[in-house]
A and B are shown apart, each in its own frame.
Chain A
Amino acid sequence: QVQLQESGPGLVKPSQTLSLTCTVSGGSISTSDYYWSWIRQHPGKGLEWIGYIYYSGSTYYNPSLESRVTMSEDTSKNQFSLKLSSVIAADAAIYYCARVRGGGTEIDSWGQGTLVTVSS
């Protein structure tokens, strides 16, 4: 049973870069079977897909965030990461990492989520 766990600073200053890591256990990220995704949820709101990364290093981002998003992977640690630059108050949210079935079709596992606050 795969497990995903987000980690990173819970507080980021405006204009700085948000950096989060997802550690995967119970399965390797170096597989062609899955994509590895970031999704966020603003307080009391719905879910917003941020993007995902494939084992090859290929990335796919939500066009609304693409200019500020960078995803990467560290296969030696079985981790993948999210960087969101020039954060603003509207980036405050719970950030989830998730595993997505091959082809980027469906989420099949979620992390527990981590709350990020944007404040000076």
Chain B
Amino acid sequence: QSALTQPASVSGSPGQSITISCTGTSSDVGGYNYVSWHQQHPGKAPKVTIYGVSNRPSGVSNRFSGSKSGNTASLTISGLQAEDEAYYYCSSYTSTTTYIIFGGGTKLTVL
């Protein structure tokens, strides 16, 4: 069981928007602005898509956005494209022993 809770799957049609949630506790997601989202295509390494809750690394499309409310962070992808189909993992700094914890991952299917 992962430390952060994500839905196993979400889906959407091209052009639509989807949101993936990531729920933790006040010791991680809720307590720090160190939530990241990582996109992983099959057979590829993860790629940082959002860091610091809502910041996009250079080169990441502005269709990706992040937010946080309480102990839950969210990744929103607008204007869905076929290339967005991938697994998405959230991660967070934690004040408990392991320092960085991950969500179980969400499979995004573009219909």
Interface of A with B (CB < 8 Å)?
37, 46-49, 52, 60, 62-63, 96, 100-101, 103-113
Q: Contacts A60-B99, A100-B100: A47 and B89 contacting too (C-beta < 8 A)?
A: yes
A39–B103 alpha-carbon span in the complex (Å): 13
Q: In the complex, which residue of chain A has the Cβ closest to the Cβ of B96?
A: A63
Q: Is the CB of A110 within 8 A of B46?
A: yes
24 contacts between A and B (CB under 8 A): A46-B2, A46-B89, A46-B102, A46-B103, A47-B38, A49-B99, A49-B101, A49-B102, A52-B99, A63-B98, A96-B45, A100-B100, A101-B51, A103-B93, A104-B100, A105-B34, A106-B36, A106-B51, A106-B52, A106-B93, A108-B48, A108-B51, A108-B57, A112-B45
Task: Indicate which residue in A46, A60, A62, A111 contacts B104 across the interface (CB closer than 8 Å).
Answer: A46
Contact of B91 among A60, A63, A107, A113 (CB under 8 A): A107
Q: Of all chain B residues, which has the CB nearest A94?
A: B45
Give A31 to B89 CA distance when docked, in angstroms. 28
- Is A106 within 8 A of B34, CB to CB? yes
Of B2, B99, B104, which contacts A104 at CB under 8 A? B99
CB-CB nearest in chain B for A48: B102
Q: Which of A105, A109, A110 has the most CB of B within 10 A?
A: A105
